[in-house]
Amino acid sequence: MAAKEYDVLIIGSGHSGGMAANVLTKKNLSCLMLNAGPVVDLEKDRSVKAAHELPFRGLGEPGRNPHIVIGNEFNANQWVDEREVPYTTETNARYDWVRVRLVGGRSLFWARQCFRLSDYEFKAKDHDGFGDNWPIDLAELTPYYDRVDSIFKVVGRKENLPQFPDGKFIDIQEGPESKATKDITSAAKDRGIAVSRMRFAQGEGGLASSVNLLLPEAAASGFLDIVPNAIVREITVDKNTGKANGAHFVDRHSKREVHVKARAVVLAAGTLESTRLLLNSGIANSSGVMGHYLIDQLYGCKVVASLPEARNGKVKPGMIGGGMFIPRFRNLKKGEKNNFLRGYSLPLGSGGGADPRMFREYGPELQKKLDEYRGSCVQGGLYGEVLPRFENHVRINKEVKDAWGIPVLHIHAKYGENELNMAKDAANTQEELYKAAGFEILYKSDKLFAPGYSIHELGTCRMGDNPKTSVLNKYNQSHDIKNLFVVDGAAFVTGGWQNPTLTISALSMRASEYLAEQMRMKNI
């Protein structure tokens, strides 16, 4: 039986793959989407349970998901099982790679924070001389950001700050600010630091996933076939034309191998899975930089402070409560002197209590402390930029294979002095602001979480104008194979401090429209 040839093969179904399907089917292009895991029904496949009803009393199955810090026994089944799909790292160089293979991918579970990159990120080299610029700028991506904002229903407050570009926000009624947040905002303002509110996707019913915002429309068009449980092993290339012509996938259950054909291939498997597939396929790497410039975002650096007059149950209405968001404020002026490049943002929350781990106490004394501090605390972390460095990279480890016989990734990622200095600055800044607002520091740590923890791994197939130093052009199109596109986070040149989902979605929209136009013009 001759296999059908699709116009476009899309590998992956998260925000980037969902956006590609949404755009391409609107152009009447027949699309096949392959996804490594099954379709789930969030209503039927989840139920409220008590921890004691679980096999391991909620403490988790030993040895499962050791790198998923946010994982627990309740959500263990939503993540990729590391025993099935392992990866390797350098000795003593931890990397927390968090993956989801369900249809919809990580878009099912993301925190929905929506920030645009600014030209401080797109043109970072122009600003501080380090690394490389993107081949695009904010103005070029703005129309796509606007459209993604509308799809996601992004909520935010306009600030008119160049490092924190405003979006096409939907209106919501903001609650009144508490005295504590006003005091922190005032302390920040005295230091030239702007305080804003979190920006996030409202989506539908609290879900802003490809499965509810992007894929339904594509599926209804009649131009999209979705094959779940299809683990792609290799992208195939026509020896005569040098163009991608489809892919081999392995059925997750039976391990039967299947080949599918397409006129173009869009890779959207999630940054490192996309790169792993390209490296395993041995294609599109004439530059030699594929796998390099792995970046993510700095998380960690926890500071907790308490408002003395709010302790021991003395919290009064309006005294404390509410969130704040401090966008990047360091290294915005040329020549500004800090012991690190780039910058970070601070997400802050107030009105909560303290974690038991913040006290050197146990038993009744610990409980007394927890009761004393309940409702009196402000705490924050950081979202920081990681410098793109050639030496942070992934490569194939042929010695280790996953449950389907596919060689795994070896990940080499380490933070350097720039990241460590940035974390110290973030901790000191928080301490200064909290103290100035009348809080007392309860806990302060400038330690960083391991690379990968942010679940914002980026780069490894970066875009650029020069085919010798980049894998993709400015349309996410392979320099080497013109009908091959990588539309997920692998294309990033710099990561910034911003949650990358909005940018990934906007880039995928733009790349998919470009692909459709090139196909219409018979250039592909």
Partner 1 sequence: MKSAGVAPALLLPAEVLAQRATGARSAPAIPKLEVTSPDAAGETVHRFFNEARFTALRRLGELFQPKVGNAPGATEAGAPEFLDFLIGASPADRKKLYNNGLDALNAAAQKKYRKNFAATTAEEADAVIRPLLATWDYEPPADPVIRFVSEAHQDLRNATVNSREYAEAGAASASRRRAGNTGLYFNPIP
CB of 452 to partner 1, least distance (A): 13
Q: What residues between 295 and 324 interact with partner 1 by CB under 8 A? A: 300, 302
CB of 82 to partner 1, least distance (A): 12
CA distances from 59 to 76, 99, 112 (A): 11, 20, 27
**109 three-class SS:** coil
Count the neighbouring beta carbons within 10 Å of the beta carbon of residue 93: 12
| Residue number with CB closer to partner 1 (352 or 407) | 352
**401 three-class SS:** strand
CB of 448 to partner 1, least distance (A): 8
Size of the site for partner 1 (CB under 8 A): 45
Among 46, 401, 424, 468, binds partner 1 (CB under 8 A): 46
The verdict on 360 binding partner 1 (CB under 8 A) reads: yes
Among 26, 69, 319, 432, binds partner 1 (CB under 8 A): 69
Among 3, 4, 28, 51, binds partner 1 (CB under 8 A): 51
Q: For residues 252 and 275, give the distance between their C-alpha atoms in angstroms, rounded to a whole number.
A: 20
Region binding partner 1 by CB under 8 A among candidate stretches 170-178, 361-369, 478-486, 497-505: 361-369
CB of 414 to partner 1, least distance (A): 16
Q: For residues 277 and 266, give the distance between their C-alpha atoms in angstroms, rounded to a whole number.
A: 12
Among 3, 28, 49, 158, binds partner 1 (CB under 8 A): 49
Question: Are 346 and 430 contacting, i.e. CB atoms less than 8 angstroms apart?
Answer: yes
Q: For residues 71 and 308, give the distance between their C-alpha atoms in angstroms, rounded to a whole number.
A: 34
CB of 35 to partner 1, least distance (A): 13
Q: What residues between 71 and 100 interact with partner 1 by CB under 8 A? A: 72, 74-78
CB of 140 to partner 1, least distance (A): 38
Phi and psi, residue 38, nearest 5°: -85, 170
CA distances from 359 to 162, 367, 372, 376, 493 (A): 40, 10, 12, 15, 41
CB of 221 to partner 1, least distance (A): 28
Among 43, 53, 171, 399, binds partner 1 (CB under 8 A): 53
| Residue number with CB closer to partner 1 (97 or 164) | 97
Q: Of 459, 469, 486, 450, nearest to 291 (Cα)? A: 459
Q: For residues 170 and 185, give the distance between their C-alpha atoms in angstroms, rounded to a whole number.
A: 24
Strand partners, 345: 383
Q: For residues 325 and 428, give the distance between their C-alpha atoms in angstroms, rounded to a whole number.
A: 17
395: enclosing H helix or E strand: strand 393-401
The verdict on 1 binding partner 1 (CB under 8 A) reads: no
Q: What residues between 320 and 359 interact with partner 1 by CB under 8 A? A: 355-359
| Residue number with CB closer to partner 1 (74 or 404) | 74
Count the neighbouring beta carbons within 10 Å of the beta carbon of residue 355: 15
The verdict on 48 binding partner 1 (CB under 8 A) reads: yes
- Chain centre to alpha carbon of residue 62: 27
Residues that bind partner 1 (CB under 8 A): 37-38, 40, 45-54, 56-59, 62-63, 66, 69, 72, 74-78, 102, 300, 302, 355-364, 367, 443, 445, 447, 449
